[in-house]
Amino acid sequence: MFKSHKPGSGHRTFGVKKGEKLPRTFLQEVVDTPIGKVAHNPTLVGKRSIKVTKLVKSRANGLLNAIRVTSRRK
C-alpha cells in the first residue's frame, strides 16, 4: 500500500484536513464494510459517508495498521 502512497492521499480520501488526525473509528468502519456498500462516519471529522472500494478499503487497512504499530512503540 505504501509503495504507491503519496503524502496526504489518506486525508484527501476520507475528507479530513491535513492538520487533523484520521479517526480510528471511521477507518475501522470502512474496513468492516463490504466492498460496494456505503460506510457511514460515526465521528464528526471528515466525510459523512464514503462508498467502499478496493482502494479505499486497502488505504483504511494500511492506515489502521500503521497507527497500531506506531502506538505500540511508545
Closest-CA residue to 30 (of 55, 60, 54): 60
Q: Give CA 5 to chain center in angstroms.
A: 13
* Nearest-angstrom CA–CA distance, 47 and 63: 17
Per-residue pLDDT of the chain (74 residues; tens, 9 = 90+): 556 667 888 889 999 998 899 999 999 999 999 999 999 999 999 999 999 999 999 999 999 998 888 877 65
Retrieve residue 13's grid coordinates: 480520501
* Nearest-angstrom CA–CA distance, 37 and 8: 24
User: Helices 54-73 & 24-32, crossing angle to 10 degrees?
Assistant: 140
pLDDT on residue 68: 86
pLDDT on residue 2: 58
State pTM to two decimals.
0.85
Enter the DSSP assignment of 36.
T
The residues spanned by each domain of the chain are 9-73
